[in-house]
């Protein structure tokens, strides 16, 4: 059975959110790996003019980057699970099971939770990266992305740290926007009660005898 149009759109959004979540987690992990497992966000950088290298003078707690990665992975797992469920229902079972009002409410609740944590993640990435970049006060670094082209003091590496953090932030905000659309679609389906997800109505093609109750109520004298 073909999937309804609204559900197809929703599945496409889930697939996009899955990709965004994986990209965010991967980029944050790469930056953290180049910093020996430490978190650069909200850290401080200084330029050693004599050695021509960039020193990392402070980091934030590693749990901050772990938090960002964990949120993105949780969103990706949820999206993957929902997509797999509906594809299985359509292709293997041969039918699309009705979406009850309860599950629409659950989806709306998850939308609210994910939107909240994605908003926090986006703000943390934005503010943390800006604070890191502002610590380089030398006129040589009038743009933060210049710092990723300079050698860093061992054992740290600044290879593409700015580009990766910026891409991770962009991925979070795109993910946030997609979840806004998913929430709108779910709310619309909940309010309108789309015919594709209703299973309690009478069959329009049934004969009168098929729609009569099994035990007829006796008529009043």
Over residues 48-52, mean pLDDT: 81
Residue 26 covered by a domain:
yes
d(CA 120, CA 68): 9
- In a domain? residue 202: no
Q: Percent of the chain at pLDDT above 70? A: 80
Higher pLDDT, 182 or 86: 182
Report the candidate in 31, 43, 46, 63 with the shortest Cα–Cα distance to residue 169.
Answer: 31
- Residue 73 included in any domain: yes
Higher-scoring residue by pLDDT: 96, 157: 157
- Write 105-108 long-range contacts (CB < 8 A, 24+): 105/190, 107/182, 107/186, 108/183, 108/186, 108/187, 108/190
Number of domains in the chain: 1
Distance CA 126, CA 166 (A): 8
What the block records as the tokens of 216 is 């007829």
Residue 175 lies in a domain: yes
Whole-angstrom distance, CA of residue 168 vs CA of residue 125: 8
Ranking 119-123, 174-178, 187-191 by mean pLDDT, the lowest is: 187-191
Range(s) of the domain holding residue 70: 5-43+56-131+159-195
Q: Between these two residues, 143 and 103, which has the higher pLDDT value? A: 143
Check residue 2 and give its pLDDT. 52
The strand pair at 39-48 and 53-60 is best described as antiparallel
The answer to whether position 37 is within a domain reads: yes
Residue 30 lies in a domain: yes
**Is 110 inside a domain boundary?**
yes
Q: Per-residue pLDDT averaged across 197-221, rounded?
A: 45
Instruction: Name every residue whose Cβ is closer than 8 Å to that of residue 65 and which is 6 or more positions away in sequence.
Output: 28, 29, 31, 32, 39, 41
Arithmetic mean of pLDDT over the chain: 82
Per-residue model confidence as pLDDT tens digits over 96-113: 555 567 777 888 889 999
> Nearest CA to 24 among 88, 68, 54, 66?
68
Residue 20 forms part of a structural domain: yes
What pLDDT was estimated at residue 3? 59
């Amino acid at each position: 059975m073909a999937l309804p149009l609204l559900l197809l759109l929703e599945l496409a959004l889930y697939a996009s959110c899955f990709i965004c979540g994986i990209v965010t987690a991967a980029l944050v992990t790469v930056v953290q790996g180049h910093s020996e497992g430490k978190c650069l966000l909200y850290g401080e950088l200084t330029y050693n003019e004599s050695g021509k290298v960039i020193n990392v003078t402070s980091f934030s707690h590693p749990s901050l980057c772990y938090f960002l990665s964990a949120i993105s992975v949780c969103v990706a797992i949820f999206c993957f699970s929902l997509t797999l469920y509906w594809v299985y229902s359509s292709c293997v079972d041969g039918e699309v099971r009705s979406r009850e009002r309860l599950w629409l409410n659950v989806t709306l609740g998850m939308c609210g939770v994910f939107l909240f944590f994605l908003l926090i993640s986006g703000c943390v990435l934005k503010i943390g990266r800006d604070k890191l970049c502002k610590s380089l006060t030398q006129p040589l670094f009038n743009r933060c992305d210049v710092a990723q082209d300079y050698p860093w003091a061992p054992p740290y590496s600044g290879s593409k740290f700015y580009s990766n953090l910026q891409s991770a932030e962009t991925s979070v905000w795109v993910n946030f926007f997609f979840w806004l659309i998913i929430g709108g679609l779910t709310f619309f389906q909940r309010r309108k009660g789309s015919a594709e997800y209703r299973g309690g109505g009478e069959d329009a093609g049934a004969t009168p005898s098929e729609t009569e109750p099994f035990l007829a109520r006796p008529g009043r004298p």
